[in-house]
Amino acid sequence: MFIGEYQHALDNKNRIIIPSKFRESLGENFVLTKGLDGCLYAYPMEEWRIMEEKLKKLPLTNKDARAFVRFFFSGANEIDIDKQGRALIPQNLLEYAQIKKEIVSIGVSTRIEIWSKEKWEEYNNQNIDYEDIAEKMSELGI
């Protein structure tokens, strides 16, 4: 399980250091793809396969399902972690997430989200009523 928030920077070769707390669960390679809210999602291979199976079950006849599957898979890249714990982020994903230098990596249970620092701060500065969200979630049995 991934938890926590870590701040770091992109190096001059478009690599990020994967926080040591994440490396063991992430493995030597992982899948990185476009996420929602303008961030990137990093999945360990096992979790990626689970997500892939769920997406395969979506109806091909549903326009929204096709659009989401295209979005999710078109951005997917298998990424290797080098011996220093660094991972090269493809240019198209850096552009999608608007990552220029400063990065925030957060653990979100079965995945890691990688945000540009600016977008993460923007997201956190929204006026989100977490108590209202929690109430709605409890209605769903969570």
Q: Which fold has domain 5-139?
A: Chemotaxis protein chec (3.40.1550)
- pTM comes to 0.93
pLDDT digits (tens, 9 = 90+) for 17-63: 999 999 999 999 999 999 999 999 999 999 999 999 999 999 999 99
Residue 121 token pair: 């701060």
Residue 139 token pair: 């209605």
- The pLDDT, as a whole number, for residue 20 is 93
Q: Phi-psi category of 113—alpha, beta or left, where left has phi over 0 and alpha has psi -120 to 50?
A: beta
- Write down how long the chain is: 142
- Indicate if the pLDDT at residue 142 is higher than 80: no
Q: Which amino acid, residue 65?
A: A
- The pLDDT, as a whole number, for residue 132 is 87
3-class secondary structure, 135: helix
